[in-house]
């Protein structure tokens, strides 16, 4: 990783917009290189890079020091590479069935993303919030429950219901055989 100026790093941590912009621009090639090494061929490389930049922007203040930044970014990129769009539906048995897997594999990525966004938008806020906290921000059940001010049990219940609703929304419709 290219050496990032310590003063720029500290200023970015303090919230200086110019320093944040400079840091993101300087680190983007390194993040892209990490993503090329970490992600599977089918992954959307540019999406991983953009998401990693967003995570860096939001959480730069949590990084201990500039020397730890490279390792931290590598972990962020590795996690993002393991979160395909259908990662929202982790544990969803219905998607492992062959006909559904075939349907989603054949669907263009941009259409699948639109469908996932629509599925999320269709959820009541209490289900959407827990799903985003748990599956997108990767908070633990305890952390998500604390953020929402609910019990762990309520968080687990809402998460299960949210995933079920998204799964139902995304299920392919049966088409009648051509006659």
Tell whether 122 and 145 lie within a shared domain: yes
H helix or E strand, kind and range, residue 10: helix 6-13
Residue 176 maps to a domain: no
Domain endpoint, select from 41, 57, 81: 81
Residue 40's pLDDT is 64
Residue 104's pLDDT is 57
- What domain count does the chain have? 2
Tell whether 165 and 147 lie within a shared domain: yes
Residue 175 maps to a domain: no
Residue 61's pLDDT is 84
Beta carbons of 132 and 121 less than 8 angstroms apart: no
Residue 54's pLDDT is 86
Q: For the domain that residue 100 is a member of, what is the CATH number?
A: 1.10.10.10
- Residue 105's closest CA among 95, 94, 114, 93? 95
Q: Whole domain around residue 102: which residue ranges?
A: 87-170
Tell whether 27 and 96 lie within a shared domain: no
| Series of mean pLDDT values for 10-residue runs along the chain (179 residues) | 79 90 91 82 72 85 82 83 53 47 61 77 91 85 93 92 85 52
Distances (CA, A) of 87 to 8, 10, 94: 35, 34, 14
Tell whether 91 and 135 lie within a shared domain: yes
Domain endpoint, select from 59, 81, 103: 81
Q: For the domain that residue 45 is a member of, what is the CATH number?
A: 1.10.1740.10
Residue 156 maps to a domain: yes
Residue 179 maps to a domain: no
Domain endpoint, select from 31, 54, 81: 81
Beta carbons of 152 and 142 less than 8 angstroms apart: yes
Burial 95-126 (b: 16+ CB within 10 A, else e): beeeebeebbeeeeeeebeebbeebbeebeee
pTM passes above 0.75: no
Tell whether 97 and 112 lie within a shared domain: yes
Residue 60's pLDDT is 86
Tell whether 11 and 73 lie within a shared domain: yes
Residue 38's pLDDT is 78
Tell whether 54 and 96 lie within a shared domain: no
Residue 178 maps to a domain: no
Residue 22's pLDDT is 92
Beta carbons of 31 and 45 less than 8 angstroms apart: no
Tell whether 71 and 93 lie within a shared domain: no
């Amino acid at each position: 990783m290219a050496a990032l100026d310590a003063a720029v790093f500290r200023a970015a941590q303090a919230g200086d917009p110019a320093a944040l912009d400079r840091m993101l621009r300087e680190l983007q090639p390194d993040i892209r290189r990490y993503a090329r090494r970490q992600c599977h061929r089918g992954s959307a490389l540019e999406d991983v890079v953009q998401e990693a930049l967003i995570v860096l922007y939001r959480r730069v203040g949590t990084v201990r020091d500039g020397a730890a930044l490279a390792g931290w970014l590598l972990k962020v990129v590795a996690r993002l590479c393991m979160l395909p769009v259908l990662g929202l539906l982790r544990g969803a048995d219905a998607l492992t069935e062959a006909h559904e897997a075939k349907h989603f594999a054949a669907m263009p990525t941009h259409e699948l993303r639109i469908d996932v966004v629509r599925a999320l938008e269709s959820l009541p806020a209490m289900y959407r919030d827990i799903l985003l906290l748990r599956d997108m921000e990767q908070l633990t059940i305890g952390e998500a429950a604390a953020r929402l001010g609910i019990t762990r049990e309520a968080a687990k219940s809402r998460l299960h219901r949210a995933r079920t609703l998204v799964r139902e929304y995304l299920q392919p419709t049966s088409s009648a055989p051509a006659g």
